Amino acid sequence: MFGYIAVLFIGVLLIAYGIFAIRNPTFGWRLSEGWKVKGDSEPSEGYILSMKFGGLIVIVMGSFFLIVSLLKLLL
């Protein structure tokens, strides 16, 4: 029973991370690379698209975890 609740929690966290990655794709770049350059510098379009695509994949995985754990808990 506890395992399914943990999987449910992980699913919710993955969905939240995926939404954050889609809505704010430059956040990780600013933390890792943005401080290294002076002035206004932005990540490439390829980076932004890959972060949004990765966020979508994470949302799909989180939804799968969420659905499976809810089905196991309810059935």
Distance CA 18, CA 60 (A): 9
| pLDDT tens column, 25-73 | 999 998 888 888 888 889 999 999 999 999 999 999 999 999 999 999 9
pLDDT value of residue 5: 92
Q: What is the pTM (predicted TM-score) of this model?
A: 0.88
pLDDT band for position 16 (cuts 50, 70, 90): very high
pLDDT value of residue 7: 94
Residues 31-44 as b/e (b if ≥16 CB within 10 A, e otherwise) read: eeeeeeeeeeeebe
67, two tokens: 């659905």
